[in-house]
Amino acid sequence: MLAIPRRDPGANASAVLAVGVHVLLLAVLFFGIRWRTKHPEPVMAELWSQLPAVEAPRAAPPPPPPVVAPKPEPKPEPKPEPKVEPKPEPKPDIALEQEKKRKEEAEKKKREEEAARKKRDDELKAKAEQERKDKALAEQRRRDEQAADRKRMQDQLARELASAAPKSSGPVTGAPSRAGDPTARNQWGDRIGAKIRPNVVLPPDLQGNPEAVFDVQVLPTGDVLAVKLKKSSGSRAYDDAVERAILKSSPLPLPEKREVFEARLELKFRPRD
């Protein structure tokens, strides 16, 4: 029995597809080669005998410096508020004990302050009393020294008077005396008056030209031993001013001649003379 071969139904389609693919490939090759072999177009160029001046490019301005924004300062973190714990209320007995202790301390402090104040007052009183005693002692010592000086001067005056030559006992009026050389005595009186008068400070309310007479005891050295008002001018201020001037002028000038010296002088003063 003979076998009859069967025909494939898809063979025709495969053959058609293969033919189409080959035709498409040939077309692509043909057009690709033709595009690549295209002749270039002619190029035209101009010839210049000198290059034209070309303006140099301007330098671009430098960019502005970058602005650096300040960093914000970190805000301080708020501190947590301390917690105040309520104090436990003391027990009644403890509170009374503390109150009693505070009162005792206050009274003790008050007593100490009073004691310190009393001590300061006592010290001040003692110091003032001591100063008073020292002042009284110094005053008494000064009076004793003045009395001793006065006695010594009186003794010296007595010795000088005893050893001096006898003189007239008449009082000194204007000039020291009328005994002896009157010219020398008048000159001595003028010198005494010339030294005393500049020291007399006249009171502002003095009126007229009143006369004040003083008895003045003088040592042989010219020192004034004593001043006594014999006749007032009627103005206490003027009398005191003359007495202060006599004491301030000590020692008084001595006479040029020894024999005309007298220990007791009567001096007259008028403010307008």
pLDDT in tens, 231-245: 988 889 999 999 999
Distance CA 25, CA 139 (A): 158
Amino acid at the residue 21 = V
Q: Of 158, 156, 181, 179, which is closest to residue 169 (Cα–Cα)?
A: 179
pLDDT surpasses 60 at 166: no
**pTM for this one?**
0.38
Distance CA 242, CA 235 (A): 11
**Hey, what's the torsion of the CAs at 122, 127, 130, 135, to 10 degrees?**
-140
pLDDT surpasses 60 at 102: yes
DSSP state of 259: G
Look at residue 171 in the predicted model and tell me its pLDDT.
34
Straight-line distance from the first to the last Cα atom of the chain, in angstroms, rounded to the nearest whole number: 209
Distance CA 120, CA 125 (A): 9
> Per-residue pLDDT averaged across 87-105, rounded?
76
pLDDT surpasses 50 at 173: no
> Per-residue pLDDT averaged across 13-37, rounded?
75
Residue 194, H or E segment: helix 182-196
If you average pLDDT over every residue of the chain, what do you get?
A: 76
Place of tokens 């003391």: 90
pLDDT in tens, 199-234: 888 888 888 888 999 999 888 888 888 899 999 888
Look at residue 203 in the predicted model and tell me its pLDDT.
87
> Per-residue pLDDT averaged across 141-157, rounded?
75
Distance CA 77, CA 267 (A): 102
> Per-residue pLDDT averaged across 93-106, rounded?
84
